[in-house]
Amino acid sequence: MISTEATRLETVLDQVESSERLARNYAEALYAVAAKANAVDSVGEELAVLVMDVIHQSPDLTALFSSRAISRVEKQSILEKSLTGKASPLLMDFLNVLNMHDRLDSLRGIYFAYRKIHDEQANRNRVRVRSAVELSAEQQDRLRQTLTSLLGKDTILEVTVDPELLGGIVLQLGDQIRDYSVRTRLGNVRTHLLTRSSYVIQSQRNRFSSDS
């Protein structure tokens, strides 16, 4: 019998998958229109600024996009006041379409789906890099060249600093993670020592038991 927790988890996963499919569908539609207008790069840049800067830094816009209490007409008015002259007509039209379908809250997912489509079309990888200290331009360039050679595709690095790693780096490409951090190495050593200690202790117990 399937437990209640398992059923809830399955429901959540279904919702996530549905949300990702929806974002991908909208992103594909936007990408197709942008490609016809020869504006794939510019639209991608606009989306990035809108999602990562404007909306992220504006609690009012975040609330606007997710609220069901605000009517579509009100949302359209706010969008026009906030973004007219700052967003291209193509992107404004797209936002109005999302508003008409009550999908403005999906914009963040659409942006990441659009970026993924753009990377696929450009035959390139996007690798997230976490390092214990800031990497110099030369170090990033060497890493980029190495990954491009290994993966067979142009590589874009998204680098962030995480002092908790102590040293080394962590690479993530999609769902694949390669951890070369000092923190993980120390954790592995600790686990090995604990396992070894447990084995020795148990061996001693077994020996004493057999001697008695």
pLDDT of residue 110: 94
Give the confidence band of 88 by pLDDT, cuts at 50, 70, 90: very high
Tokens of 39: 């504006």
Give the confidence band of 200 by pLDDT, cuts at 50, 70, 90: very low
Give the confidence band of 65 by pLDDT, cuts at 50, 70, 90: confident
Options 1.10.520.20, 3.40.50.300, 2.60.40.10, 3.40.710.10; which CATH number does 4-119 get?
Answer: 1.10.520.20
Residues 130-152: pLDDT tens digits?
988 898 999 999 999 999 998 89
Is residue 171 within 8 A of residue 127, CB to CB? The reply is yes
Domain boundaries along the sequence of the chain: 4-119, 124-212
- Burial class (CB within 10 angstroms; exposed 0-12, middle 13-18, buried 19+) of 153: middle
Strands 154-161 and 176-179: unpaired
201 pLDDT higher than 50:
no
Q: What is the pTM of this model?
A: 0.72
Question: DSSP string covering 165-176, please?
Answer: G-SSEEEEETTE
CATH architecture of 124-212: 2-Layer Sandwich (3.30)
3-state secondary structure of 127: strand
Nearest to 115 by CA among 47, 57, 20: 47
